[in-house]
Amino acid sequence: MARYRIAAIGGDGIGPEVVGEALRVLDVVADVLGFGCGVERFPWGCGYYESHGHMMPGDAIELLSRFDAIYLGAVGMPSVVPEEVALRGVVLAIRFGFDQFANVRPVKPLAGAPYPLARPDASEIDFVVVREATEGMYLGLGGRYPADAPEVAEIAGLRAVFGRSRELAVQTGVYSEAGCRRIMERAFRLAEERGRLGQVTSATKANAMGHGMTLWNDVFDEVARGHRDVKAEWQNVDALAMRFVARPETLDVVVAPNLFGDILTDLSASLLGGLGFAPSANLTDGHWPSMFEPCHGSAPDIAGQGIANPTAALLTLAMMLEDLGEEAAARAVEAGVRKVVAEGRVRTPDMGGAASTAEMGEAVAEAAAGLAAQG
């Protein structure tokens, strides 16, 4: 019997609540399909920061390296820890620590979920955003300097307003040829595997970012030549954002640098009914554990009320199972979620119902177990 070690980090706010339901469903499908999961929970996040002065212990990456996958609920409690500290202390620390370079976000609306567009029909939308997650503007390079500091002497002379400022902030983005190439290769392979439109769309902005984005574009052209069976196209990110709303049915796989991908993926969540329906995976090249996290954040305003929507967390569980090679379990979980949402009998308040987080999790567990048993 296959057995997997899972590190579960509930995190903050509603994180522990939705993680609890995901682990409930995991136990059920593992029992039905005959594989084992040893789950170890870690109490890291803003609460841990209050007690220890940091979001995770110094040996967190070493500890997590012993697991097959990492399942993260949510991180963030702005009233307790500054957002930039919380994000870098857990999510980015794990992404960078394990080189989880591919943030993958599927966009396939669920029948019965809130849907904002008059057209197209929700059934016509089925695409995936593949975001480079370890380079670009999120490296944290740069700093804040007095305008007369020697570090920014050349910059201060570029604009009159710079010279009139008390302080300058420099945020440096770095794009590597190898980093661009590996995320693009993953995107093209995914387009081949999906067999939908056979298309990869690159998000770029070379007309305004003439260094990083021209490198991105050049590598995209090279990678495209190695995948002649896939249609390759590019679009400036501002126009592409409009396309996400106006013509989402024309998308198949979108590949994007870190900052653009971050913005586009949250926009794409609106097509699913909101962040409560948006799953996510941070994938490695297989040498280290990948991390799986729903996209909704910690939602401190409803934490502890038992009304959080666990849909994104459950779909994220399906992504984790697929990555582990448990395809039957992944299909059962996703189909179970879709069945419960489509039937509409069990709905959390954000969907117009009165069900609790636990009731939603229980309904999906029952549906997934039945589907898993049917094979």
Residues 69 and 295: their CA atoms lie apart, in Å, by: 17
pLDDT band, very low/low/confident/very high, at 119 (cuts 50, 70, 90): very high
CA-wise closest residue to 269 among 131, 102, 137: 131
Confirm whether 238 is a catalytic residue: yes
Residues 241 and 247: their CA atoms lie apart, in Å, by: 10
Tokens 């939602």 label which residue?
299
Q: Which of 205, 252, 339, 350 is catalytic?
A: 205
Provide the percentage of residues in the chain whose pLDDT is more than 70.
100
Q: Which of 12, 252, 262, 323 is catalytic?
A: 262
Q: Are strands 281-283 and 36-42 parallel, antiparallel or unpaired?
A: unpaired
- Amino acid letter for position 85: V
Are 125 and 248 a contacting pair, CB within 8 Å?
A: yes
Alpha helices in the chain (DSSP H): 15-33, 46-52, 60-64, 83-89, 91-97, 153-156, 160-163, 177-194, 212-225, 237-246, 258-269, 311-324, 327-343, 357-374
What is the chain's mean pLDDT, rounded?
Answer: 96
Write out the two tokens for 351: 């969907």
Q: What's the confidence (pLDDT) of residue 352?
A: 93
Predicted TM-score (pTM) above 0.85: yes
pLDDT band, very low/low/confident/very high, at 1 (cuts 50, 70, 90): confident
Residue 89 pLDDT > 80: yes
Q: Which of 48, 49, 138, 175 is catalytic?
A: 138
pLDDT band, very low/low/confident/very high, at 225 (cuts 50, 70, 90): very high
- CB atoms < 10 A from the CB of 53, how many? 7
Distances (CA, A) of 342 to 94, 281, 369: 35, 24, 17
Q: Which of 121, 218, 221, 266 is catalytic?
A: 266
Residues 309 and 355: their CA atoms lie apart, in Å, by: 9
Confirm whether 301 is a catalytic residue: no
**pLDDT (mean) for 307-320:** 98
Confirm whether 252 is a catalytic residue: no
DSSP type of residue 124 = G
pLDDT band, very low/low/confident/very high, at 286 (cuts 50, 70, 90): confident
**pLDDT (mean) for 353-373:** 97
Q: Where are the domains of the chain?
A: 1-102+282-375, 115-135+179-208+223-272
pLDDT band, very low/low/confident/very high, at 77 (cuts 50, 70, 90): very high
- Report pLDDT digits (tens) over 173-214: 999 999 999 999 999 999 999 999 999 999 999 999 999 999
- CB atoms < 10 A from the CB of 352, how many? 9
Confirm whether 350 is a catalytic residue: no
- Report pLDDT digits (tens) over 344-353: 999 999 999 9
Confirm whether 59 is a catalytic residue: no
CATH architecture of 1-102+282-375: 3-Layer(aba) Sandwich (3.40)
